Structure 1
Amino acid sequence: MAEQRFIIEMGMGNDQYGQDYTKAAARAIEDAIRHSSIPMFDALELDHSQMRVQVTVGVQDPEQVDCTALLKRLPRGRVEVRAVNGGLNVTNPDNGNVTVLASAAVEAFLDPALVSGR
């Protein structure tokens, strides 16, 4: 059977002064996983390596995101990170400074046989 998603968390991050899309994306990922606690791994004696983690970050310029660097932000599982068009750039009309806003979806998938076969 195919993997099933068992968790999705969303987060938002920004870089107010550096226009650093990777920094904003990293903060969005951290915001998302900060809300997560998955006690089922200990309860069911599952290894975290059995989980696939798929991260999608949305920013206005996806090519400027270092997805490889973002892999280090995820502490568990087999991680994939991709950047897509999204997020928001906000320009301060007084000084022209651009604040970069990123959104992130962190999804976790497992083979249901790992859970139901117990």
Structure 2
Amino acid sequence: MSKFYTEDHEYAFIDGDIATIGVSHHAQDQLGDVVFVELPEKGTTFEKGDEIAVVESVKAASEVYTAVAGEVIEVNSLLEDAPETVNAGAETVGWFIKIKMSNTADTEGLLDETAYQTHIAD
């Protein structure tokens, strides 16, 4: 699995042509306690950079954008009843959607794990 991040703290963990999309641990930490997550429906297609979700926390509401293009093949339904799962494991159990990528080379402009850690340290 390859891990990529955006400068806006979304991630795309890519395994073959499937990308798991969510917000980074750093993002959930900045948001505070997540109280609601609005996710797209399975079958929806997105272009890279499209808004895929809205996250509401005790501090703010934030849009979440996809780091890759493709079709939603799975939605993390756990987040509907337990949005706090994002806080418990943003980069594990708190993922948002899985996308079948329309272009597996669509990682240009994304940060690898080392570059992302440098980015959030600044």
TM-score, L = length of structure 1: 0.31
Structure having the higher helix fraction is 1
Structure whose alpha-carbon radius of gyration is higher: 1
